[in-house]
Chain A
Amino acid sequence: MQKVKNTAEPLIQPRLSPSGLRNYWALFGKDVRRDKHLYILLAPYMVLFLLFTVLPVVISIIFSFTHFNMLEMPRWIGWENYSKLLWNDDVFLIGVKNTLIFSVVTGPVSYIACFLFAWLINELNPKLRAFMTLIFFAPSISGNVFFIWQIIFSSDSYGIINGFLMQLGVIYEPIQWLQDPKYMLGIIMLVQLWLSLGTSFLAFIAGLQTVDKTLYEAGAVDGVKNRWQELWFITLPSMRPQLMFGAVIQITASLAVADVAMALAGFPSVQYGAHTIVTHLVDYGTIRFEMGYASAIATVLFVMMLGSNLIVQKLLKRVGE
């Protein structure tokens, strides 16, 4: 009851007055007690999610401001890692350049390919549709079978491409496909595209099957003339949620190219021809053990992924307008 004196204050900040705050917490406690079964269901997943996904991101951001080599205690150095990374690390810039080339080419191409193939497959009869879905989806689920491209582009005459070209008489000596920086990037992009019809491809196929069929009829009445107009004015806007989801998955994957590059071109690749941000991260993180520096690389990558996702989501809102 002594708190009556404070009645003037709640007008300004109702929640921060002691009694208001107490009420807030009392209400909060009541809510939590009422929903405790929900929290119990949620807890096991969330604990592991925080421990293995959120906490690592936080740790990574903190370490990016330190000098840390796993032997000595981390030492706070402020923005030094970032300034070294952005202004004094030529190899990182090669990595950034390659990553951007990858993501600008493979990102949109695979995104559009995912949609285009899903759209074409959707017009087939159900049996053929199931078969084609399998054909396009198989590379991305068959895991590490992409090593087969290493044999296809093998640098001796047993490589399928070399053998084929030599037989045709286009070349007389085998080309060192995966050792020559001239070809390396292109081949990795090709393999990346081969692998990229995955989760978002399935999401698009599924999305297409749920578009309301009556919309097409209504569209025909309203003067939609051909399939392209149908696509732009009816199909795409109906699938906007799936398009968003697909974009997130594709952008993230295309900025994180590394496994294919390391498997095909070797690590480090000749003249850093296939070096990417992630291979740079692997280099500092697991070979040189400069954890602070590696964390700065990871943070830059994280910011790039978030930024490009936000931009693309803004663009996608305009589809069909």
Chain B
Amino acid sequence: MKLAIRLNKKVNRSWQVDALLFLALAGFGSFMAIPLIYVINNAFKPLDELFIFPPTLFVRNATLENFANLFQVMKNSWVPFSRYIFNTVFITAAGTAGHILLASAAAYPLAKHRFRGSKVLFTVVVLSLMFSPHVTAIPNYMIMSALGWMDTYQAVIVPAFAYPLGLYLMKQFMEQIPDALLEAAKIDGASEYRIFWQVVMPLVKPAWLTLLILMMQMLWGTDGGSFIYSEQLKTLHYAMGQIIQGGIARAGVGAAVAVIMMTVPIVTFILSQSNVIQTMASSGMKD
């Protein structure tokens, strides 16, 4: 009886520290949120409000003028704004889909089988988590030009298929699938491909959603790097850069593009949040 009471008793927590910690959380939370709130408000500010002194955080007379102007401004440019949207959506969709498919196909044998070379290959992938893409930017440029992929969509899309982070997370997640399930499928006569496609893939839905978030966010924000030159192939990020260069006069329009840019990844994250957390739980690196 005495033991049961002790087990239920929570470890000593003073409310003063509680209050202090949550005050800190609220403080830093607003530091994180204020710039985003500011940019959203700016997107709805009419021109005269953008130039008030002192500047205000919140919009008073909200208007959709900036969004309308956005299409107006871009109408005069050589490439219609919808083309930038199409490019970004296309690159994001193709790159993300390909990455999820190829990374899962590669993760399944690494997670659930031992075969010659599997350890070495996985070690190389883990090592490559340790350097940033900047290190390989120049040789990649040469490889693209050797392949003749300069100024094409695939120069951005195909390398995205093989980012190391996706394979790593997918493999860690697939390791949790019970072996018994796979053996049962094997006894029923399923080939490795069928096991992968019909047993493993449906089970790792949370992991796909995580890769979806990470890849989508990365590709959605791409400016096409150093590979894309033609105006009609450029992305939304590039168009945003051009608009922001216009300076303070375009501040409202710039904010409108920014809101469009950030809405898509944030909404996707909200929709898949619980699945994402589930995947990241298995992200750990064993020492």
Contacts and interface: CB of A to CB of B under 8 A. Distances in A.
* A and B interact physically: yes
Contacts of B127: 306
Contacts of A38: 109, 113, 115, 118, 192
Contact of B191 (A37, A39, A298): A37
Contacts of B119: none
B261 A145 contact: yes
B115 A286 contact: no
Nearest to A254: B132
Contacts of B12: 225-227
Interface string B1-40: 0000011011111000100011011001101110110110
Nearest to A150: B244
Contacts of B209: none
B135 A60 contact: yes
B137 to A, nearest CB: 7
B220 interface: yes
B143 A133 contact: no
Given A225-B12, A240-B284, A132 B25 contact: yes
Given A37-B193, A57-B135, A163-B54, A145 B130 contact: no
Nearest to B142: A59
Contact of A42 (B121, B128, B254, B261): B121
Interface in A274-293: 278, 281-282, 285-286, 291
Interface stretch (A9-17, A178-186, A195-203, A265-273): A195-203
Contacts of A225: 11-12
B251 A35 contact: no
Contacts of B220: 143
B228 to A, nearest CB: 14
Contact of A139 (B32, B165, B191, B248): B32
Nearest to A277: B134
Given A49-B164, A160-B38, A203-B280, A63 B287 contact: no
Interface in B254-287: 254-255, 258, 261-262, 265-266, 269-270, 273-274, 276-287
Given A203-B284, A206-B280, A227-B17, A145 B138 contact: no
A60 B137 CA distance: 9
A148 B214 CA distance: 22
Given A51-B143, A160-B38, A194-B31, A285 B138 contact: yes
Contacts of B32: 135-136, 138-139, 194, 197
Interface stretch (B58-66, B77-85, B99-107): B99-107
B53 A295 contact: no
Given A139-B36, A221-B6, A132 B132 contact: no
B135 A42 contact: no
A220 B106 contact: no
Nearest to A139: B32
B102 to A, nearest CB: 4
Interface stretch (B68-76, B154-162, B177-185): B154-162
Nearest to A228: B17
21 contacts: A42-B105, A42-B121, A44-B105, A45-B161, A56-B136, A133-B273, A138-B266, A141-B217, A160-B57, A163-B55, A210-B281, A216-B11, A220-B10, A226-B13, A242-B283, A278-B134, A301-B131, A301-B132, A301-B134, A305-B130, A309-B130
The 4 closest A-B pairs by CB, nearest first: A241-B284, A143-B221, A142-B262, A45-B106
Interface of B: 6-7, 9-13, 17, 21-22, 24-25, 28-29, 31-33, 35-36, 38-39, 42, 50-51, 53-55, 57, 102-103, 105-106, 108-110, 113, 115-116, 118, 121, 124-125, 127-132, 134-140, 142-143, 158-159, 161-162, 164-165, 167, 191-193, 196, 213-214, 217, 220-221, 226, 237, 240, 244, 248, 251, 254-255, 258, 261-262, 265-266, 269-270, 273-274, 276-287
Given A130-B273, A219-B11, 17 more contacts: A49-B128, A51-B162, A56-B140, A120-B25, A130-B274, A133-B273, A141-B262, A141-B269, A145-B258, A147-B240, A148-B38, A158-B55, A164-B54, A241-B285, A258-B134, A298-B134, A301-B132
